[in-house]
Amino acid sequence: MTTSDTQTTSNSARPKSRRGTGRRLSPGRRQYLQFKAKYADSLLLFRMGDFYECFDEDARTLSKLLDVALTSRDVGGGQKSALAGIPYHSLDTHIGRLVASGLKIAIAEQTTSEPNSEGIVDRAVVRIVTPGTVLDQSLLEQSKHNYLAACVVEGHQAGLAWLEASTGEFAAMELPAANIIDHLERLEPAEILVDTDTRILLEDITKNDTSRKSALSKTVIRSLDESTLDPELAANSLKSHFNTDTLEPFELENQPLATIAAASAIDFLAQTQIGRLPFITTLRRHRPDRYMYIPAAALRDLEVLTPTVEGGPTLLNTLDTTSTPMGARLLRDWLSAPLTDLNELNTRQLAVNTLYNASTLRSSLDQNLTGIPDLARLVNRLTLGQSEPRELRQLFRGLDKAPELRQLTTNRDTGASISPLFDGVSSHDEVRDLIDRAIVEDPPFRVSDGGMIKPDFDHDLDKLRSTASSARSAIASIEAKARQDYDIPNIRVSHNRVFGYYIEVSRSHLSKVPSEFERKQTLVNAERFITPELKDLENQVLRAADQISELEHSIYRRVCQQVAEHAAAIMRTSQA
């Protein structure tokens, strides 16, 4: 049978159908699929009203990891899709478990409240969360770094970079490819970006070495797009980020592999933050000649950072009496990479000797350092616009100890050898004054909860609050007036989210209800009413509440922006 015959037979046998019909997806389904196509390697949390929803395979993954119900939804064209979701207010609770599983999570938020011409609200992916780019303090271990590393191999040489999104630390180096595993074990990155040669090298090294395989077992390893691994492109990316014409300030001019690794790390971070990078203002070239090289096997055998027996002692645990999260991480760095520079060693030992012999100074410093929060991680969330009111108040409490720390380390003989260590500490008078005037002592955890701005900070906000308070007082007076005027002793004015404000009268007194009372709801033992006066006052309260919420958000954002202008000074204080 010829092709022509086949076509003719096929056409004659095909059942007739209405012209132009076919499966048609719902607008919401089409929007979801457009996002999923762009973020195919991520678990997509799609905000729909009060829930973050997952569909298809993502839904099955979410259901399995979080033990939430797996259902289905009609998505148009007679099709159904697997569906699972979590309430929007519990995102922070669940995100930790998703990150711990090694997933890359894209969070799509609703950016408008009113539907567009297709009948759906606009949405946008606002951030992507991965194990190595976490910024939320509740998901981070305070005493440990949470590094994102990138590694490329060429022949016997390698480039390695590591950054910590939550603190802004960023370093890179070139090294013999055979030494990569030792440095990765020391850094313990949460996530590594690798090219093909690095992946093969790591697999070869760990294949027959169970201890090394175990050391990287909790690390997520992702492949780099090797089509972009070019030293010139990488250099341009770094120069663009740091707004420089050269890489000389970072000592990377003749370090092509380190440059590629560093650019790979910063570019990946930029992708996860949708272009808004954490406060990363410098890149340090790690110079192996300044530190003692300790093979990973020696670190393990000497139990410097990790015990050979679970729960056993380590050198780090024995020495760690630090008072701040920044100090705990610094001690970890010192022990895993001891100094070899004699001048720096002498400076450090002189400071230790001073504090050892000056017990009063040591005690005062310890007292002031105790309770200081993780300033570096707080300020990075601030610069990204992710700070919550409680975190801003934590920042104030930490900075409020800075003037006393400066005073303790200056103007006294015993402080002469340690005062240089505190050169980066500023008093932060302007920042402390702003936060203290603006944010209430015990603020809500989330901005959306409202009530974080102090009275007398903003005149317009005070006026709106006064209007709302007066309206609520007037509503309260309606109850007392009705009892007196209509002789209804158990009349009461109440409120719920469904009906708003209403007047409730028991059935035994319904005969006394005046004609201007408009029936709103009938209950078994009572009736609920509304009056023009009550409706007007309710509208005043609702309008004021909306305006208060909008203005508070605006004021809070402005305060955060003003504090963020001092990020560099705050970061220097955190590093002292």
Q: Are 390 and 444 within 8 A, CB to CB?
A: yes
- State residue 247's pLDDT score: 94
Write the CATH number for 261.
Answer: 3.30.420.110
Whether 94 and 231 share a structural domain: no
Residue 542 lies in a domain: yes
d(CA 474, CA 481): 10
Name the band, by pLDDT with cuts 50, 70 and 90, for residue 3: very low
Q: What is the CATH number of the domain that holds 95?
A: 3.40.1170.10
> In the predicted model, what is the mean pLDDT of residues 220-242?
93
325 belongs to a structural domain: no
Q: What is the CATH number of the domain that holds 486?
A: 1.10.1420.10
- pLDDT for the residue numbered 547: 94
Which DSSP helix (H) or strand (E) runs through 154?
strand 148-154
Render pLDDT for 321-357 as a digit per residue (tens, 0 to 9). 999 999 999 999 999 999 998 988 988 888 888 888 8
Count of domains in the chain? Answer: 3
Same domain, 163 and 106: no
| Domain boundary, last residue among 73, 99, 129 | 129
Q: Are strands 105-110 and 43-48 parallel, antiparallel or unpaired?
A: parallel
Based on the fold, state whether residues 96 and 188 are members of the same structural domain.
Answer: no
In tens, the pLDDT along 463-518 reads 999 999 999 899 989 888 888 888 888 898 998 888 889 999 999 899 898 988 99
Which of 292, 317, 334 marks a domain boundary? 292
Is 5 among the domain residues? no
233-266: b (≥16 Cβ within 10 Å) or e = ebbebbeebbeeeebeebbbeebbbbbbbbbbbb
Is residue 347 included in any domain, yes or no?
Answer: no
Residue 422 domain-assigned? no
- Report the C-alpha gap between 453 and 523 in whole angstroms: 40
The pLDDT, as a whole number, for residue 416 is 61
pLDDT band at 413 (very low <50, low <70, confident <90, very high): low
288 and 187 assigned to the same domain: yes
Same domain, 474 and 533: yes
- Residue 13: is its pLDDT beyond 80? no
What does the pLDDT read at residue 417? 67
State the residue range of the domain holding 480: 459-558
Radius of gyration, CA atoms only, the chain: 31
Residues 227 and 89 reside in one and the same domain: no
Contact of 62 with 43, CB cutoff 8 Å: yes
Report percent pLDDT > 70 for the chain: 94
Average model confidence (pLDDT) for the chain? 88
Whether residue 572 lies inside any domain: the answer is: no
Among 244, 275, 292, the domain boundary falls at 292
Note whether residue 212 is domain-resident.
yes
Same domain? 125 vs 161: no
* Assigned domain for 479 exists: yes
Q: For residue 63, what pLDDT is reported?
A: 95
Q: Is the pLDDT of residue 1 over 50?
A: no
Same-domain pairing of 158 and 61? no
Report residue 262 as tokens. Answer: 């560093």
Q: Say what the pTM is.
A: 0.83
Q: Are residues 229 and 84 in the same domain?
A: no
Q: Are residues 161 and 271 in the same domain?
A: yes
Question: Is residue 103 located within the same domain as residue 159?
Answer: no
User: Do residue 171 and residue 263 come from a single domain?
Assistant: yes
Q: Pick from 72, 84, 81, 103: which is nearest to 46 by CA?
A: 84
Residue 86 pLDDT greater than 50, yes or no: yes
